[in-house]
Each structure stands twice: as C-alpha cells, then as structure tokens.
Amino acid sequence: MSLLKFENITKEFPLGFFGKEKLKAVDNVSFEIERFKIVSLIGESGSGKTTIGKLILKLINPTSGKIFFEGTDITQIKGNKLRKYYKRVQGVFQDPYSSFNPIYKVDRILNMVFEEFFPEVQGLERHHKIEEVIASVGMNPKSILGKYPHQLSGGQLQRILIARALLLNINLLIADEIISMLDASTRVDILNLLGKLKEKGMSVIFITHDLSLGYYISDQTFIMYKGNIVEMGDTEKVFHYPLHPYTKMLLDSIPEIDRKWNLSKRYIPELVTSSDSMCKYFDRCPLKNEKCKKERPQFVEVEKNHKVLCLNVKI
C-alpha cells in the first residue's frame, strides 16, 4: 500500500468576471508515493506544483478526483479526522519570514503544536521535548528559543519549521520551495537535513523549480508542465535519459559551472495557449506532428520506473 495516492485529481480556479472561465491548475493528475522516499516535484511557475502541495496539506480542496493516505480516502475529511491527518502529514513553506508571525517569539509555533495535539504535555517535559527537537535539526536551543523571527537568519527559521514538523511523528513532509529564499551556502545543509530525516523513516515531497537541487536529494522525480506530470520516474533515469522534450529543455537551461551555453543563438521561451483536446506542449515541441493536435497524450512506460506523457516517444 502506498503512502500517498492521487487519483485523477483536478483543481480548477475560476477566472474572469463571473468566474466563468476556469484555470486548470492541476489537470487530471495521478501518482503514488511510497514510504521512505524523497520525491522531487519539479516545474516552473504555473506548472501546478504548489497547488499539489496545498492539496496534499488540505489547505484547498480538489475540484474532482480522490486522494488516499495510507489507503484511506482523505479527499473530504474535516474536523477530528483532519486533525489526525495533520499528525502524520506536515508542511514547510517557501518564505521563512512570512511563516512566522512577526509579533511573536519563534517558540510560539512549537508551543502551538503542543496546545493543539499534545495538551497534556506541559512544563518541563514540554521544554525538554522542544530542546531535543531543536538540537536534532542541528541548532543550539539556547541561541534560538526566546528570539523574534527578525533576529534569526532564514536558514535558522527554516530549521525551526522543520523541527516543528518533527514534534509530531509524521510520515510525510511537504517541502514547498523551502530553500529558494536561502543563501547558497546554507541550502545544501538544509537539504542534507532532509536526507537525514528520510533515513529516520520520513517521506518528503520536495517541491522546487531548481533541477540541480532535485537531482541531489531525491529518489524519484516528477516533472510538471501546465498542470500535468509530463515525465516521472527514478531520478537517475529521468535526468540521464530524459524523454519528454520539456524535460530536455529544462535540463538544457540549467546554468552549470562546467558547461557554457551557446549565447550567440537566440533562445525563445514560451507563449502558449493550451486547450483540452491536444498536447499542451505542442507549440514549443520539436517532436510535434498532426496527431498531437488532436489527441491528448497518455503515459507510456518506457522502462521500469520511468514514464513519459507523450505520443511520439519511441521505446
């Protein structure tokens, strides 16, 4: 039984004056996440990756489809069932300074967890547990507790947020662009922390737009484009044998320090409108043909643990 399963999930947002037009942020997405795995959800803005994170954290509800957690349908849960869910699934967000209410000390978010989930744990015992969990993310409790958010660095704040998730014995952590606002010198340490957590039995969904980070830390990779997962599989396979033209384009656009771009060639990104009856990548795709205009692509399993959403890929 998988840890998390998405079955035909679609999320639409109403646009326009009376909400007549709809934006499909997530378009009929299905996938499964196993235990003890780090999965990167990679995509650019508008790909739907953040929406998926919010769907998993139940901050928003899907328009259609089902979500299963450890076999149970959690699509519409509320109240106490939702509370129990939050004991197993937690999240850390992108902006550490925005995740803390600036007028309170940082201890408060840790205390909130006790107030809501373990109200019977008080006083010294609570204090011990907090200190323990701060130390487990590599920080000295004495220099962290009692401070205000603006007195600490982004990296320290993100670690506190991870520590908070650890107070509960969670199975799944959603990390939504958690290092994009951190300095380069601290990023890798936070990533290493995620790796350590996986060794202790937690699964992580690592949402990012930065492919090199995804490559470094994750076991599996999902590449998203305009609400669809266009390629998914073991990280090594997706990065070294990319099949979907979009994946290839992304890999090509990463600035690397051992390879220079050819800057004398004009490089023109997007400008696409999508429709429901054809492949969304059509306008930019070098492999396109007439079939792509009329049919929506389906998943093709190219090798074990490597699937791609394309009509033209050859096995």
Task: List the interface residues with another protein, window 199-238 (CB under 8 A).
Answer: 209-213, 215-217, 235-236
How far apart CA 278 and CA 276 sit, in angstroms, is 6
The stretch among 18-26, 29-37, 92-100, 306-314 that binds another protein (CB under 8 A) is: 92-100
Among 77, 121, 145, 251, binds another protein (CB under 8 A): 251
Q: How far is the CB of 225 from another protein (least distance, A)?
A: 11
How far apart CA 28 and CA 64 sit, in angstroms, is 8
Q: How far is the CB of 82 from another protein (least distance, A)?
A: 7
Q: Which two tokens stand for residue 107?
A: 């201890």
Q: Is 239 in the site for another protein (CB under 8 A)?
A: yes
Q: Is 15 in the site for another protein (CB under 8 A)?
A: no
Q: Which of residues 26-45 bind another protein (CB under 8 A)?
A: 44-45
How far apart CA 181 and CA 153 sit, in angstroms, is 11
Of 8 and 212, the one with the shorter C-beta distance to another protein is 212
Of 131 and 210, the one with the shorter C-beta distance to another protein is 210
Which amino acid is it at 116? E
Q: Which of residues 125-154 bind another protein (CB under 8 A)?
A: 148, 153-154
β-pairing, 38-43 with 228-234? unpaired
Q: Is 169 in the site for another protein (CB under 8 A)?
A: no
Q: Which of residues 285-314 bind another protein (CB under 8 A)?
A: none
282 near 230, Cβ under 8 Å? no
Among 62, 155, 227, 245, binds another protein (CB under 8 A): 155
Burial tier of 169 (Cβ tally within 10 Å: 0-12, 13-18, 19+): exposed
Three-state secondary structure call for residue 184: helix
The stretch among 2-10, 24-32, 52-60, 61-69 that binds another protein (CB under 8 A) is: 52-60
Among 119, 123, 142, 257, binds another protein (CB under 8 A): 257
How far apart CA 173 and CA 79 sit, in angstroms, is 21
Q: How far is the CB of 291 from another protein (least distance, A)?
A: 25
Q: At what angle do helices 107-117 and 154-167 cross, to 10 degrees?
A: 10
Report the DSSP beta bridge partners of residue 40.
206, 221
